[in-house]
């Protein structure tokens, strides 16, 4: 019996060694290979939802408050500065960027900040109010020559899919969906290519737009560089695709473009 066991042990020793060698080899390979794989991490910056606040551009609030002011104080136009940008809330607060007439100095002012004795008191969509010595001074924003609302207005007459009313442009959701659901239709009507800066994507250039397409009607032109959509900077194809995939859940569309080296914004309401 003992001899049998000895024989079995004797015969199995080489196999045990072979298995051990295989194990050592596998362990050596394991220590050399990576311990973790790659997981997709979503960029948090691109997931911010774009919202347009009622009252942010509400004319009702603007006119009411400006009327009140007109009763109390007389407004004088302020010609010393150019108003470049306004960020206003529905409580007429916020901040602005102003430039002196010579155009060589810019200032960023928030509500109740002072500039040469003028105190910024109220901010509206298209103008702001300064106060000095119990007198109100109005400063209007200069509209850019390149903001061509007439592109949409022309459309208003010929196509009900895009409706222009006062300052807002409404786009019919079904009309937009006819493009969203058919990617071929998108590529038939628009051609875009990435713009790279220091090796990174810095927007998408519009190389071709079909005149009868929604893109043309929305005001996009050949040569425009789309920088951001709904405040999501387009720095990768994924960013662009994310906007495309989320368009069904979007109520407002804000497209920031670069045209003739000037930044412009196109705003739409999806109805």
Report the interface residues with another protein, using CB under 8 A. 14-15, 18-19, 21-23, 25-27, 29-30, 33-40, 43, 182-184, 236-239, 241, 244-245
Tokens of 10: 């004797």
In the chain, what are the helix, strand and coil shares in percent, each to the nearest 5? 35, 35, 30
Task: Give me the least distance between CB of 250 and another protein, in Å please.
Answer: 16
Task: Give me the least distance between CB of 226 and another protein, in Å please.
Answer: 17
Asked whether 119 and 126 are in contact (CB, 8 A), the reply is no
**Comparison of 28 and 76: residue with beta carbon closer to another protein:** 28
Tokens of 53: 């606040």
Task: Give me the least distance between CB of 203 and another protein, in Å please.
Answer: 16
Task: Give me the least distance between CB of 185 and another protein, in Å please.
Answer: 9
Task: Give me the least distance between CB of 22 and another protein, in Å please.
Answer: 4
**Comparison of 19 and 76: residue with beta carbon closer to another protein:** 19
Q: Can you tell me whether residue 125 is helix, strand or coil?
A: coil
In whole angstroms, how far apart are CA 21 and each of 9, 11, 17, 18, 29? Answer: 18, 17, 6, 5, 12
Give alpha helix (H) positions in the chain. 2-32, 59-72, 150-158, 173-180, 183-189, 214-217, 237-246
Nearest to 56 by CA among 94, 110, 113, 107: 94
């Amino acid at each position: 019996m003992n001899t049998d066991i000895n024989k079995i042990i004797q015969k199995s020793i080489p196999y045990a060694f072979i298995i051990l060698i295989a194990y050592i080899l596998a362990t050596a390979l394991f220590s050399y290979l990576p311990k973790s794989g790659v997981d997709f991490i979503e960029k948090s910056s691109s997931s911010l939802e774009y919202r347009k606040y009622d009252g942010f551009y509400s004319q009702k609030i603007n006119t009411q408050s400006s009327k009140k002011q007109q009763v109390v104080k007389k407004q004088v136009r302020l010609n010393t500065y150019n108003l470049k940008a306004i960020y206003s809330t529905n409580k007429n607060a916020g901040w602005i960027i102003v430039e002196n007439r010579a155009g060589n100095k810019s200032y960023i002012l928030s509500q109740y900040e002072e500039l040469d004795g003028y105190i910024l008191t109220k901010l509206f969509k298209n103008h702001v109010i300064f106060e000095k010595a119990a007198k109100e001074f109005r400063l209007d924003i200069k509209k850019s020559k390149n903001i061509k609302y007439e592109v949409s207005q022309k459309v208003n007459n010929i196509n009900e899919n895009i409706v222009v009313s006062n300052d807002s442009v409404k786009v019919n959701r079904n009309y937009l969906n006819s493009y969203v659901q058919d990617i071929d239709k998108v590529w038939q009507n628009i051609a875009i290519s990435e713009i790279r800066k220091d090796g990174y994507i810095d927007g998408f250039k519009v190389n071709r737009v079909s005149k009868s397409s929604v893109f043309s009607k929305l005001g996009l032109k050949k040569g425009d560089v789309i920088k951001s959509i709904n405040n999501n900077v387009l720095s990768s194809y994924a960013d662009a695709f994310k906007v495309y995939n989320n368009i069904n859940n979007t109520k407002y569309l804000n497209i920031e473009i670069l045209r003739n080296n000037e930044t412009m914004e196109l705003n739409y309401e999806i109805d």
